[in-house]
Amino acid sequence: METLRNELIRVQTTRGNEEYRMEEKDHGDLVVYDIFHQDHYLLTLAGDGSILFMNFDADEKDKEIFKLSYLNVFIEKIRAHAQ
């Protein structure tokens, strides 16, 4: 596994502007995107934006990002990288 890129992404949530880190990782046969908030792992997205894994043990306040309206911010960034 190789980390290709780290990017900070701001998302407007009900708590205000929150900063998330998206790590692009190459696993050889698949490039994935891990999402972190304050160094807490939250979820992994595939290059097409599909959800591969969600950390349901995350804090309740961190789970807010699992809503589709917030996930779209990350999916749009992933699609922009693919072009």
Q: How many domains does the structure of the chain reveal?
A: 1
pLDDT at 11: 93
pLDDT, averaged in runs of 10, over the chain (83 residues): 87 90 90 94 92 93 89 91 71
pLDDT at 4: 82
pTM above 0.75, yes or no: yes
pLDDT at 56: 93
- List, edge to edge, every strand of the sheet that includes 40-46: 2-13, 16-26, 31-37, 40-46, 51-54
Domain that holds residue 22: 2-82
- Contact of 9 with 3, CB cutoff 8 Å: no
pLDDT at 17: 92
